[in-house]
Structure 1
């Protein structure tokens, strides 16, 4: 028996490995479970979330069958209702939305009552809806996935309006995904103009003309670069003969040829300037910024830098963005919470690996063959649901396994013995 066969891999007649090990199967299953838990945030698929009120963040779906795009009725339903009340309908996956109460069965669904909760108010006045509930996204107002779009482009969600944007339509160069945590679209920056003061926190990258490599510019790592402060409170960075103007924290002393910036903002400014009180509004000590032409990409924990003085809190409240001061509002917090709640379900994977190692080689090989057959058949069966945008129900899964059992041919025992000799 070959080494590949001993490790539980499927081998073709030409000797090439085809398939995966059972260890890979279990590890991939664990990863899929964690990904699903992150998206669903530990949502209950049996109980409607309506009684929980306006949930801070939850997975939502829009039913095109009940609320067509041209009906003028925008509505969202929770995970459980997507299964039990709209299982055979065409649904749009909205990922997550904040401060939302399930609409299923209310006045927006005149012909489809909620099967999980009968008593519901006609409307949820605090719910907010955008074009996503009609199946449209970005400034191009196209569906996702777009059958007419042949370009491979990522979709990025604005942390304020929660619409999704193509990277190429963000109005700026998108930094690497690991470098930023949240994005604010240009429309929201123009709507909430005082947020422009924080654009200096944005993730910025410079490309060298020679290497074309992206270089992160941070306030604390400028030893290899030459800096000069301009008149409008920005910093010119000169690298490999190329000059770029970048937003920067100015709480440092410049070179001898430039103006001097006080490190300690608790001290008085020059005699001609006002005294800055850092215990008050942070905006007084931040250089004034113009609203950029495109979106702004912000690093992790950037919200901790937001001013929380009384005047700024009034601005957040009046403009309906108080949630920016709540760290539990972020999608990252939601996803991590979902993974944490689901870890108890992933513990059995280790026991399954131990059980697998105790099996003999013949049984392990047969299990891999059976798994590959099952995986291929299931993918082909589910393809029609994906093409028709249909939800897979329990009845569909039962039908699949019934067909699989009916079509399965019994393998002769001696073939297995000969294969392993």
Structure 2
């Protein structure tokens, strides 16, 4: 009997083992394994296009078969582009489904919403990922052959090979994935001055949870959240901090580290890239599309507007400003290090939100608050087998009398086939194609008699 892994990862991927040496139980096992995999990957209903929800963060699939490699929502990837060549992009923010729009060329049609040749979504941002090319290295991604974990940059949302991020092909990276929640890549740190202005003040400063990795693998900026990390920081200690900051740690910085002592230990996460989007127990519904771009900009401003004066810190709690070239990040770059920045769990609570600091985040609301990600509603039929779904379809779509007659005919045929095969199974006889053809030939003669 073939095991589940052999069935799931058979080169045929058709639910039939690639070996000729199999029996009926193997075929049944293959079907059950594939159905279980489908239920785990896609426990959702895909009967509603997200176009009317507007520009939201959602799972996307770029269609390489259609014109311009445009991207569509999860529902359209199945209902409208199921037999096309697709690139799975996972979650991307501020994106509207392009199925049935002019962006895909004349005649584009969404079979779910019956929308065709709608105006192109001008705010959608496309990059090389939509052509199946990822990372600094520009290597095409093949899910069937790729064995390396990939990390997504929080800002540009590009997917990056772990070895390209850390500059090493070692099996264990210097900063394990369970020690950070997300990252900002060196390309954004060097090319986006606003992002750099925010992160450089925190990056590499002990206790902030905004971490840097030095060329020798030393990690600076860890949260002092447990004794293990605290001891590691102490051991790396003054030598590491001396490389990041020529002077002793300021008192304000020490207070920040002490304040973080009560943070609970962070749970381990799954690898950053999996074969499918992970289901959530409570899918979040996206907000409707803003009527105009001005309305959207207004909503962004509201996200990052000043809290009431009574809720604002009386003093700035950000790490002290230091001269240009003296920050841990600048020193790391001067030493030839990679300026990727790694953000610990609950990083949104890291930033100072005083009256002076908060306006810096107006264009980056996702740094201040966790983003809502649209997921399709759960499918109540997701746990049903293909057979059960077929019977439900039969009962619900056919006239009741005809459906009952069909079920009775199926049950009668099934009982006769079992009666025909039982003696062969009892005697240990291998059932061949000739046996099955003989049974159905006898059935045809019976009906004609």
**What interval of TM-score do these two structures reach, taking the shorter chain for normalisation?**
0.5 to 0.7
Residue pair 1:66, 1:112 contacting (<8 A) in 2 also: no
Deviation at 1:160, TM superposition (A): 1.3
Deviation at 1:61, TM superposition (A): 1.2
32 and 105 in structure 1: CA distance in 2 versus 1, 3 angstrom threshold: closer
Deviation at 1:282, TM superposition (A): 3.2
Figure out how many residues of one structure are paired with residues of the other and give that number.
289
Distance in 2 (CA, whole Å) between partners of 1:215 and 1:305 is 15
347 and 146 in structure 1: CA distance in 2 versus 1, 3 angstrom threshold: closer
The DSSP-based 3-state class of the residue aligned with 2:115 is: coil
The DSSP-based 3-state class of the residue aligned with 1:145 is: coil
Deviation at 1:306, TM superposition (A): 2.0
Paired residue for 2:366, among 319, 323, 334? 323
Deviation at 1:342, TM superposition (A): 4.2
Long gaps (5+) in structure 1: 1-17, 68-72, 237-244, 251-257, 266-276, 353-404
121 and 321 in structure 1: CA distance in 2 versus 1, 3 angstrom threshold: farther
RMSD of aligned alpha carbons: 4.7
Relative contact order: is structure 1 or structure 2 higher (C-alpha 8 Å, sep ≥ 6)? 1
80 and 226 in structure 1: CA distance in 2 versus 1, 3 angstrom threshold: closer
Paired residue for 1:82, among 54, 77, 83? 77
Deviation at 1:35, TM superposition (A): 4.2
Paired residue for 1:140, among 137, 140, 144? 137
> Is 1:54 aligned to 2:55, yes or no?
yes
Residue pair 2:87, 2:130 contacting (<8 A) in 1 also: yes
Q: How does 1:20-419 map to 2 (within 5 A)?
A: 33-37=39-43, 42=44, 44-55=45-56, 57-67=57-67, 73=68, 75-115=70-110, 116-118=113-115, 121-145=118-142, 152-172=147-167, 174=173, 175-190=175-190, 191=192, 192-194=195-197, 195-200=199-204, 201-202=209-210, 219=224, 220-221=226-227, 222-223=230-231, 225-226=234-235, 229=238, 235=241, 261=251, 279-285=314-320, 288-291=327-330, 292=332, 293-317=338-362, 320-329=363-372, 334=373, 342=378, 412-417=421-426
The DSSP-based 3-state class of the residue aligned with 1:96 is: strand
Long gaps (5+) in structure 2: 1-24, 257-311, 333-337, 389-413, 429-449
Distance in 2 (CA, whole Å) between partners of 1:164 and 1:286 is 32
Residue pair 1:278, 1:285 contacting (<8 A) in 2 also: no
Residue pair 1:206, 1:217 contacting (<8 A) in 2 also: no
Distance in 2 (CA, whole Å) between partners of 1:125 and 1:94 is 19
Deviation at 1:305, TM superposition (A): 0.8
